[in-house]
Amino acid sequence: MTNRKDDRLWGGRFEREPNARFDTFQRSFSFDRRLLPYEIAVDRAWAKALVPIDIITAAELNQLLAALDDIEQRANSDPKWLEISGADAEDVHHFVERELVRTLGDLGHKLHTGRSRNELIATDFRIFVIDAAAAIQQALKTLLNAFLVQAKANLSVPIAGMTHMQHAQPVLLAHFLLAHAEAFSRDIVRLENAAAGADACPMGSGALAGNSFAIDRNAIARDLGFSRVTANSLDAVGDRDFALDYLFAITGIATHLSRLAEDFVLFASQEFSYVLLPDEYSTGSSLMPQKKNPDAWELIRGKSGRITAALFSLLITLKGLPTSYQRDLQEDKEALFAAHDQVADMLAVAAGAIAATKFNADRLRAAAANPALLATEAADYLVRKGIPFRQAHDLVGKVLREAEKRNVSWTALPPDALKNISPAFDSDLSASLTLDAALASKKVSGGTAPDSVRAAIADLEARLNQKASTTGAKS
């Protein structure tokens, strides 16, 4: 059978059409159509670069730019047209070239002079990652602002801080919320690093060896908003480190969201009763009328696995590839697109749920006031009396053991029982053994004392405002 698909970007070499099942299997337009705005931007920049090297004229450039504008406008305004026109397109590059040829004839074929799909997809994908990282940074800032609002509103509310899921020491609820905020703040830095890694333009790399037409790579990079060009053509077409960097960054976000979700699932249980779940971010039971389930948090916790899987999927794809472009790299986009979309949704839901959650201040204060959480304060009291901490720790342990034997709270032990354990215990001990005193004593930078937490709130707010002003300046 003679090959009738003459518009393929590679069809001249073949006599027969591809096997129908394989042809469907190898097509990628169904998902890489998402890169159409970036493909058109790259096409515009490439068309402009062809004029100084006398491949096309200024008049032909205007025709190409007008045709590219038309494709973009029709795709934006008429999704059905894109669906029908792209039904048999091999990929986004094939789709655009075919539409240009339909409009401009042979001029449409000129645009591909000196370039390869290998560099095109690498460039499109890098711009997507840069934009995706910026979008997720904005979503993170929305979440951080939700933490700030709740921290300010609950500045006087204590919570029982835990290690090993056991009550440890009292902290402020605002301090707990800011702990999560710090983790998500680090995610913003990782996103910035991922975007910086993607900020190099591969155009001019050709399929692997470079360009034969003295194309101005730096002009193309500037036109597309890149700060630099890639250093090696062979590396540029096969490099997906920028995609790994982005997936690693959003995997970190998903991991932090999952930890946040776990906390709130526990806090919503009757055993804790620390939070009142908002109706807007909860569901009920089809059988039990009394149920209000933390489905928003459970789904966030569950979906985090998808993001981790996307990172591992790309790592596994890349680990066995030889140098340069291989068709395996077609598998780099679907998982990343899906992971990006999931993280965007997870962040939006988390921010909304945090903002709408009400905290049970009475329950939180009662848990934080458990005398067991003040044991370290007693050890610190003894240290201030001149007893080495290791001995103080041991003495307080004996106090707790004695209280267990008497089946009373250790703070209810009579003075003589305390004196029998250590004569350093005196009448001023009780002043150290209050919830407020325990909180106030942690006044170091980064501690849970009210003044320290107020400073941390101000610092986070300043960092967010600084990033907002920096973003505004760039745009």
Distance CA(218)–CA(184), nearest Å, equals 35
Is 164 catalytic? The answer is yes
Place of tokens 């730096």: 218
Rama region for 361: left / alpha / beta (φ>0; ψ in -120 to 50; rest):
alpha
* Catalytic residue selected from 227, 269, 285, 409: 285
- Give rounded-to-5 percent helix, strand, coil for the chain: 70, 5, 25
Distance CA(165)–CA(138), nearest Å, equals 33
Phi, psi of 272 (to 5 degrees): -95, -55
For the chain, the C-alpha Rg in angstroms (whole number) is 31
Residues with Cβ within 8 Å of 305's Cβ and at least 6 positions away in sequence, in order, are none
* Catalytic residue selected from 77, 164, 212, 286: 164
Residues with Cβ within 8 Å of 352's Cβ and at least 6 positions away in sequence, in order, are 146, 280, 281
Rama region for 358: left / alpha / beta (φ>0; ψ in -120 to 50; rest):
beta
Is 167 catalytic? The answer is no
Q: How far is CA 140 from CA 116, 147, 208, 332, in A?
A: 36, 11, 38, 24
The two three-digit tokens of residue 373, written as one number: 């959480």
Q: Is 63 helix (H, G, I), strand (E, B) or coil?
A: helix
Active site residue ranges: 164, 285
